[in-house]
């Protein structure tokens, strides 16, 4: 790629139909992990006009799964609660009136045999696949700037909507930010697109000026785009939204969930999966390693790839790519990473303390670039591996 170019990333809000589904699926994961840290969950959700369908396979305590029958009332209740917290009380999608069907069932014994630890066999990966992690020195959270700004605009709008019952905004919204790069570094914003659901009595001018405040708040000073490149609700009206306007599915926003296209994604979605599924846990571990390499000033940009086979505990491959910005040879970084972190499914889960009900907050506004909490949310965003990496390289 040329050193001077335009690059665009997008984000979607918690009320986007796909994100409603991600939230419900992750609420199911949290419900099971709260009851049993060893629970297994693979949950998919579909949402459309006043209907939600929850399906998949689970394994957990008798309080949730008795004789292979899942407690559907608990699942339905948490789905309604999630929809209410997002803010859906519309005729076409209402937390109290939508129909909710639950088709969760017991986990396949064939999968359990491959994944479970037994005898001298360690816990295996929950599936085959390749996962990527990425970090770069463009924002204070070491994320690509376009996706981070896109997330932050929508988070700001959501915080305003939740704090102002008469805000006039609905839960469904999307953003898109285009950055100009020179010599490989972002130097400004050339365009911003924000589409947000709104009340029928709001004018387009009102929507535009409301959105403007949040865009200006997020972008660096002087980076607001030209007026004719600031697009708000380009179709002219956005009253019908959410699952009433477009069906949603778990796992359809994997690029929004990761790096906005600025780095590769292995293909597997995150939401609805317990941490034995390396689609989720190994992608978190890869981000953790990449972020710590950049935080340790060993590189300005870093991409990690790791790959697994179902039922096999050790990773089949590990790649460290510093994109020509490394201060240390990449083969030495690979050796150091292997030394300081166990990248087996069990090693990842224990190192990052993933067997906890911490996943619902990750369902919107990206899984990366977030702030770790004392309760264990976003543990993969910590930079506590810095000193260990430096020591391994001496």
Q: Using one digit for the tens of pLDDT, what is the confidence trace for 238-277?
A: 999 999 999 999 999 999 999 999 999 997 999 999 999 9
Q: Is 273 a catalytic residue?
A: yes
Neighbours of 15 (CB within 10 A): 28
Element (H, E) at 4: none
The answer to whether 217 is a known ligand-binding residue is no
Same domain, 55 and 185: no
Decide: 82 and 171 in contact? Cβ < 8 Å.
Answer: no
The answer to whether 197 is a known ligand-binding residue is no
The answer to whether 269 is a known ligand-binding residue is yes
Q: Return the DSSP state at 280.
A: H
Q: Is 262 a catalytic residue?
A: no
Q: Return the DSSP state at 228.
A: G
Q: Is 323 a catalytic residue?
A: no
Q: Following DSSP, what letter does each residue of 109-128 receive, concatenated? A: HHHHHHHS-BTTBPPPBSS-
Same domain, 193 and 316: no
Q: Averaged over 229-235, what is the pLDDT?
A: 96
Q: Is 18 a catalytic residue?
A: yes
Q: Is 180 a catalytic residue?
A: no
Give the chain's domain count: 3
Q: Is 238 a catalytic residue?
A: yes
Handedness of CA 245, 246, 247, 248 (dihedral sign): negative
Decide: 171 and 13 in contact? Cβ < 8 Å.
Answer: yes
Q: Is 291 a catalytic residue?
A: no
Same domain, 226 and 267: no
pTM score over 0.75: yes
> Both ends of the chain: CA-CA distance in Å?
34
Q: How far apart are CA 247 and CA 46, in angstroms?
A: 7
pLDDT of 6 above 70: yes
Tell me whether residue 148 is in a domain.
no
Same domain, 283 and 223: no
Tell me whether residue 151 is in a domain.
no
Domain that holds residue 324: 129-137+251-392
Same domain, 185 and 283: no
Q: Is 368 a catalytic residue?
A: no
| pLDDT, tens digit (0-9, with 9 covering 90-100), for 204-225 | 999 999 999 999 999 999 999 9
Q: How far apart are CA 197 and CA 358, in angstroms?
A: 29
Catalytic residue among 7, 10, 14, 19: 19
φ and ψ at residue 78, rounded to 5 degrees: -70, -30
Tell me whether residue 331 is in a domain.
yes
Decide: 23 and 35 in contact? Cβ < 8 Å.
Answer: no
| pLDDT, tens digit (0-9, with 9 covering 90-100), for 348-377 | 999 999 999 999 999 999 999 999 999 999
The answer to whether 342 is a known ligand-binding residue is no
Longest CA span, the chain: 67
The answer to whether 332 is a known ligand-binding residue is no
The answer to whether 36 is a known ligand-binding residue is no
CATH code (residue 162): 3.30.300.10
């Amino acid at each position: 790629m040329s050193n001077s170019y335009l690059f665009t990333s997008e984000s979607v809000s918690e009320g986007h139909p796909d994100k409603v589904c991600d939230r419900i699926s992750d609420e199911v994961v949290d419900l099971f992990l709260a009851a049993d840290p060893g629970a297994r969950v693979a949950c998919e959700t579909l949402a459309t006009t006043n209907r939600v369908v929850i399906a998949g396979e689970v394994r957990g305590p008798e309080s949730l799964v008795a004789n292979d029958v899942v407690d559907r009332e608990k699942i339905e209740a948490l789905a309604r609660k999630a929809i209410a917290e997002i803010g859906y009380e519309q005729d076409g999608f209402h937390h109290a009136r939508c129909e909710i069907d639950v088709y969760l069932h017991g986990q396949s014994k064939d999968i359990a045999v491959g994944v479970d630890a037994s005898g001298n066999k360690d816990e295996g990966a929950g599936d085959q696949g390749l996962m990527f992690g990425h970090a770069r020195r463009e924002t204070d959270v070491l994320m690509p700037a376009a996706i981070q700004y896109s997330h932050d605009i929508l988070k700001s709008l959501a915080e305003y909507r939740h704090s102002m019952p008469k805000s006039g905004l609905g839960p469904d919204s999307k953003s898109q930010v285009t950055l100009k790069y020179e010599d490989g570094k972002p130097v400004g914003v050339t365009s911003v697109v924000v589409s947000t659901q709104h009340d029928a009595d709001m004018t387009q001018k009102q929507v535009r000026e409301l959105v403007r405040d949040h865009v200006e708040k997020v972008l660096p000073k002087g980076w607001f785009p030209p007026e004719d490149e600031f697009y708000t609700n380009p179709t002219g009206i956005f009253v019908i939204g959410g699952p009433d306007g477009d069906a949603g599915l778990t796992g359809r926003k994997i690029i929004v969930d990761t790096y906005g296209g600025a780095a590769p994604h292995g293909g597997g979605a995150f939401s609805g999966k317990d941490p034995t599924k390396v689609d989720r846990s190994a992608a978190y571990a890869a981000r953790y390693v990449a972020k710590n390499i950049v935080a340790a000033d060993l590189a300005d940009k870093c991409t990690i790839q790791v790959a697994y086979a179902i039922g096999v505990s050790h990773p089949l491959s590990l790649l460290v790519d510093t994109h020509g910005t490394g201060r240390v040879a990449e083969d030495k970084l690979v050796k150091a990473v292997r030394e300081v972190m166990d990248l087996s499914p069990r090693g990842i889960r224990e190192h990052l303390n993933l067997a906890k009900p911490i996943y619902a907050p990750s369902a919107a506004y990206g899984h990366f670039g977030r702030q770790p909490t004392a309760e264990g949310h976003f543990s993969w965003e910590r930079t506590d591996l810095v000193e260990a990496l430096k020591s391994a390289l001496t």
